[in-house]
Amino acid sequence: MPPPFRFPVEVLLMLDSAPLPVHATDTVTPAREVAHDHFASGDRVVVVRGSLDGDLHGDDLTIVAPSWHTPTGQDGWRTRNPHGGTRTFSTAHPRYLIHVERHCPECFAFFRALAAELLPQLPPQGCTEGDWYTFTGLDQLVHRDDYEIAA
């Protein structure tokens, strides 16, 4: 039995100050092959956007509905950030998403691989926001590796 999937979602609520922008190379996400229907409306997911004191952290989101991911020209998911903010709703590609509410071996393996690649590149202390994701003007989340597709 693998250990239960745990992600420190509670720390997301503590982030009052702006995270430190950092550069890191993520080759794990572009190589991930996950079916669109691996996810469903209502699922709780996270998108890893940075680190907090040496652990990966990111946006805690709820999947709303299927939605076209314009930057890649593929099926994506509309997500809602229950904490609101400037981007309550955005659209993400399935390979960006990680299940958090239930144990999911596929997402767990992806998260482990992501941690193995990213954490050595990130500071062991403090809150960071990596540069491997950005948002388009239409609130579409896009991975750096997908920029060229988007261009």
- Cβ atoms of 97 and 75 within 8 Å: the answer is no
Stretch that binds Zn ion, among 22-30, 68-76, 101-109, 143-151 (CB under 5 A): 101-109
Q: What angle do CA 59, 44, 127 make, to 5 degrees?
A: 20
Among residues 44, 69, 99, 143, which is the contact residue for Zn ion, using CB under 5 A?
A: 99
Q: How many Å apart are CA 31 and CA 2, to the nearest integer?
A: 23
Check residue 107 for interaction with Zn ion (CB under 5 A).
Answer: yes
Contact flag: residue 104 with Zn ion (CB under 5 A): yes
Residue 100 CB, shortest distance to Zn ion, in Å, is 9
Q: Is residue 61 part of the contact set for Zn ion (CB under 5 A)?
A: no
Q: Looking at the DSSP assignment, which residues form a beta bridge with residue 62?
A: 44, 80
> Could you list the residues that contact Zn ion (CB under 5 A)?
99, 104, 106-107
